[in-house]
Amino acid sequence: MPVPPSQYISNVWKEGIFDGRVVFVTGGAGTICSAQTRALVHLGANACIIGRNQQKTEAVANDIATARKGAKVIGIGGCDVRNPENLVKAAERCVKELGAIDFVIAGAAGNFVSPISGLSSNGFKTVMDIDVLGTYNTVKATIPYLIESAARNKSNENGLTGGRIIYVSATFHYTGMPMQAHVMAAKASVDSIMASVALEYGPYGVTSNVVAPGGIEGTEGLARLAGKGAEGKNTASGIPLGRWGTVKEIADATVYLFSDAGNYVNGEVLVVDGGDWRNGGMGVGLDAGMKYPDFLLTGEFSKHVKSGREDKSKL
């Protein structure tokens, strides 16, 4: 059944503002990126989502297509963003089947909780490869199409836009965060790639911006970082707004940057975290009562954070 629009987009946006536009999304089967894509499709866009798991990617694509009658959403599974040829072929297929690439969301990412003492070089490299190399490969594969889209949509009086890319980053590297050295290094690099694209391709009319979510309820990311029970009210009490964010709020930020309202926004980092990073940000891998630096000195963190493998919780 179609997801109610109230769960993934605010009612302030005019329907049809993305009519005829095509969005290419890496990590598109993920909780946040699928909501971003669903919002764009609801507002008129067609989409191509990319992922490594073929079955999951195709299933999510079919589900997103229910956001608007007549929507076309392609799911390309078996695509690894670390492989540039995979992305080039995916972009070519997207253009062949949907006609263009007007928007790009670089959302493929990896994360897990680990102190430096327990973080192998291979683990560090894996996150860097997915986040940084994957982002760079995405830019290289899609930028020719974004340049074409920007040229087609220059000074479009009807408010339709094109030639825009956003990157889903994070906030840990703005202030620092224990047990996230790998992610901080990766996301700082993603932010830097964003700035380089803004400077080098802005003259072609392409805009390049980052959306940096905080803790978003109901997502894989929060489960991996904060563990079971992390979405309770008390655990969000340190956030200035007193709650976790929602996928709708990340989708709204995406719509803003891709819409006519975001025409002059380029090279910007849009943080959507309720002001949490100003307050030091959420602690990761912590149970109630665990305080900095005690958990580091005692050598323990939460046994409830989600992981792809069975690890001991010792530092």
| Residues assigned a catalytic role | 169, 187
Angle between helices 84-98 and 134-152 (to 10 degrees): 30
* DSSP characters over 209-275: EEEEE--BTT-HHHHHHH-TTTTSTGGGTTSTTSS-B-HHHHHHHHHHHHSGGGTT--S-EEEESTT
- Say how far apart CA 288 and CA 230 lie, in whole Å: 9
Q: Is the backbone peptide bond immediately before 178 cis, with ω within 30 degrees of 0?
A: no
Q: Helical H runs in the chain?
A: 31-42, 54-64, 84-98, 121-128, 134-152, 172-175, 181-201, 220-226, 247-258, 294-298
Q: Which residues contact 285 (CB under 8 A, 6 or more apart)?
A: 113, 179, 225, 226, 227, 301, 302, 305
Helix (H) or strand (E) holding 165: strand 164-168
User: How far apart are the C-alpha atoms of 166 and 168, rounded to whole Å?
Assistant: 7
**Coil/strand/helix, residue 81:** coil
User: Do the Cβ atoms of 172 and 180 come closer than 8 Å?
Assistant: yes
Amino acid 163 reads G
The widest CA-to-CA distance across the chain, in whole angstroms, is 62
Helix (H) or strand (E) holding 76: strand 73-76
User: In the numeric block, which tokens belong to residue 314?
Assistant: 């010792």
